[in-house]
Structures are given as C-alpha cells and as structure tokens.
C-alpha cells in the first residue's frame, strides 16, 4: 500500500522534483570546484595530508553523490580504494559570524585560508599555537597539552617523524571546524565517525550506514502533499526493532554524558533533529553532522556579543536558545534547556513506540521528567545525572540479556 502511494505521488509531482533539483544542483553541488582548489594548493606545496596524493595524483579517492545543503560546506559520498565514506570540503568566502549558521569564522580568500603557521615556525611554536587555540575554543582545561600532542601526531600524516609546513597548515585549517574538533575530543569513543584522511580542510569520514535516526528524508514538494498524521506514521515504518532502538537510544544518552564536563570541557548540542544522527549495521549510535555541537566556552563568548530585542534573537542552530537582556539588548550566555532535555525530546516518539508493556509506563515517566529539565546542566548537575543514569539503566536492563545488545 505504502509503495503504491509513493509511486502515485512521484508520478504526480515528478516533473516538479526534476526541475527543483536541477535548478539548484549547480549552485549547491560544487565538489569539482572544491577538489580543484584543494589540489591546486597541494601541487603548489601550500598544503599536504594523508589523502592528498590519492585525491590529486592517483585519483583513487573520488567524490560521488552530492549531499550538500549549504554551498560553503560541500558534502559528498566518496570512495577511497576499498573504503566508503563521506567527504567534506570547505568553500572559501569572506569571514563572518552569523548566529543562523556555524559559529566559526569562514575562510578568507587564498592564500589566507592556509597562511598559518608561517614559514620558519618551529614545532614547539606550533604546539603553543594549538594549545592557545584549543583554550580559546574549549576553555582552560587541565589536559590541553595532551590533546595538543594528539594533534601533532595526527599532523604527521605520512608518519615519517617530521611535521612539514604544508601538513601543519592543513591541520590548522581543520582545527577551525567544530566537527573536526569534536571528532578529536571523542576519538576514543564510538559516537563520531572515524576520520579516514584529509588534504587541506577537505576530509573524509567513515560512512554511517543508516540515517536519519528515524523516519525518511523526502523532497520538499512531496512533503507538501503528505498530511501530518500520515507523515508521523511513515516515520515509524522505517525504524529497527525496539531492542535495537533501545541500544541506539543508549548511544545518544552516552554522547550527552561524554560531552557534559568531559575531559576537554563541555559542549552544547545545538541541533538535535533526527537528521543529524544515524547508526551503523551493529546499531551503534553515530553523529552524522557535528557542526552544531560546539564548545560551551565558544558559544558563550559569541552569544554575549549578539544584539537582541526578543529571546528568539538569541537562538543558535535549532536548539540553543538563551534569553535577551532587554536592559542591554544583549543575549545572556546560559541556554534555557540542557542537552539531556533536548535529547529526550528527540527520543520520545522513537523509543516509546513498540516499547514492552512492562516497561512503557516507567519509560514514559522518565522521559517526561527528562524533557522537563530547564536551565543549564551545571545548575542541576545531580538531577541531570540521576535522570540520565535512570534512563540508561532502564533501557539496558531490558536488552542486556538479549542478542540485540
């Protein structure tokens, strides 16, 4: 029945879909331009990295299907020999800060995008630059020196024991990106896809097999014709069994735990929509898009500079909202909802549907208590930890003795 529905709908609006995709493709999908720009810098000796030779000389790393949503951040599926992954490439434009976009300075025109470190910079000086940059991003954490050591090890992409200037410039460009920083911080965990290689600020991450977390992505023209009730039902057609959903949900809760007072400071989740998450064949939870998971210190520094007239002027991404101080017409720095409340809101419909009857009432009670959390997590640390642990325990007890765990 559902397949007949989709077939009818596709025929009815097919010509519209083709027109919309074709008219926007050349504007959005500029992977060829991005690759040419990166390879030109590589050939000139400006940048280097583990993926440069394969991308620009051997051509064993190549871009396939375009998934780009914003022209300045190109996203493609890709292949690198036997490896499948997602390739991301930054398009250059004048730097600006915009609360409606990423909280990162965009790249300046070449050569300024890769002008640091400068020629003659020693490895020790580069290490100091890294520590200073990390401190500005995540705050003054005790173990930033350890993280800087990991960055230097990553920078030596050919593992020859030496860091070249082109390698250092590539790493410095990558350090400006929220997603790369989070992958670095959580590299010992399994929540973020593994970094497979890089060249300049083009990088390839491992493929995540299933996304979004639940539901399906449809062209907007089809969305217009689908009633809200049917849309909600459709979302549940494309979900795994409940025990598998429970395992995925535990993964999201563990991510919240990891980025709250983690070893390198706290991070805020500013886009908790299902489209930013996915899972692999083993039903391990994965972050699909980490651009809006940002260091709390960075968020607070930038949001306090934002002028406002109403609270909604203080919204970053879709989920990080603070209040507007009308006496100063500036945004305050404390988010109104902690990460855990937003995560539970996302999980509610996902995990309650199909839940075992002996669990559903208690699970619903715990989820609504979680959704009701207000203020920053620091202000309610005990309650935050208690609810998070209760939810994880409740789910884990139900699946720990099954093969699905």
DSSP strand pairing (285-287 vs 277-279): antiparallel
What's the whole-model pTM score?
0.81
- List pLDDT tens digits, range 76-117: 999 999 999 999 998 865 333 344 445 554 443 444 678 899
Would you say residue 17 has pLDDT above 70?
A: no
- List pLDDT tens digits, range 381-399: 788 889 999 999 999 999 9
Question: How many Å is the Cα radius of gyration of the chain?
Answer: 22
Burial classification of residue 304, based on how many CB atoms lie within 10 Å of its CB (0-12 exposed, 13-18 middle, 19 or more buried): middle
> Which long-range contacts (C-beta less than 8 Å, at least 24 apart) are formed by 219-222?
219/17, 219/20, 219/21, 220/20, 221/13, 221/16, 221/17, 221/20, 222/9, 222/10, 222/13, 222/17
Would you say residue 173 has pLDDT above 70?
A: yes
Band the pLDDT of 188: cuts 50, 70, 90.
confident
Instruction: Report the chain's mean pLDDT, rounded to a whole number.
Output: 83
Would you say residue 51 has pLDDT above 70?
A: yes
Summarize the confidence of residues 66-77 as an average pLDDT. 88
Lowest mean pLDDT among 5-19, 119-133, 164-178, 236-250: 5-19
Band the pLDDT of 235: cuts 50, 70, 90.
low
- d(CA 351, CA 364) in angstroms, rounded, equals 9
Would you say residue 15 has pLDDT above 60?
A: no
Q: What is the pLDDT of residue 71?
A: 85
Lowest mean pLDDT among 67-76, 110-119, 220-229, 280-289: 220-229
């Amino acid at each position: 029945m559902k397949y007949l529905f989709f077939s009818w709908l596709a025929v009815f609006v097919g010509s519209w879909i083709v027109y919309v995709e074709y008219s926007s493709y050349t504007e959005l999908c500029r992977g060829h331009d991005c690759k040419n720009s990166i390879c030109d810098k590589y050939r000139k000796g400006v940048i280097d990295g583990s993926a440069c030779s394969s991308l620009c000389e051997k051509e064993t790393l190549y871009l396939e299907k375009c998934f780009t949503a914003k022209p300045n951040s190109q996203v493609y599926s890709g292949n690198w020999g036997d490896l499948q992954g997602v390739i991301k490439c930054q398009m250059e434009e004048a730097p600006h800060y915009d609360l409606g976009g990423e909280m990162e300075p965009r790249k300046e025109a070449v050569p300024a995008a890769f002008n640091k470190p400068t020629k003659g910079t020693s490895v020790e000086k580069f290490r100091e630059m890294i520590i200073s940059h990390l401190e500005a991003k995540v705050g003054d954490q005790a173990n930033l020196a350890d993280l800087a050591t990991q960055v230097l090890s990553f920078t030596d992409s050919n593992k020859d024991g030496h860091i070249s200037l082109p390698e250092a410039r590539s790493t410095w460009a990558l350090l400006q990106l929220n997603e790369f920083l989070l992958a670095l911080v959580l590299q010992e965990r399994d929540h973020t896809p593994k970094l497979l290689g890089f060249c300049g600020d083009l990088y390839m991450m491992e493929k995540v097999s299933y996304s979004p977390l639940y539901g399906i992505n449809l062209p907007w023209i089809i969305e217009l014709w689908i009633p809200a009730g049917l849309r909600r039902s459709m979302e549940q057609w494309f979900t795994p069994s409940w025990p598998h959903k429970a395992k995925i949900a535990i993964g999201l809760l563990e991510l919240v735990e990891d980025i709250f007072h983690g070893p390198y400071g706290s991070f805020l989740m500013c886009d908790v929509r299902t489209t930013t998450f996915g899972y692999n064949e083993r039903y391990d939870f994965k972050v699909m898009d980490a651009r809006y998971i940002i260091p709390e210190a960075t968020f607070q520094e930038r949001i306090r500079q934002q002028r406002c007239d109403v609270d909604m002027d203080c919204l970053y991404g879709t989920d990080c909202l603070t209040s507007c101080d009308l006496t100063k017409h500036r945004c305050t720095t404390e988010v109104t909802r902690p990460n855990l409340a937003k995560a539970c809101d996302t999980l509610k419909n996902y995990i309650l549907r199909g839940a075992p009857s002996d669990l559903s009432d208690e699970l619903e009670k715990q989820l609504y208590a979680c959704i009701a959390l207000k203020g920053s997590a620091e202000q309610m640390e005990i309650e935050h930890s208690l609810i998070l642990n209760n939810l994880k325990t409740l789910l884990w007890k139900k699946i720990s003795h099954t093969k699905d765990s």
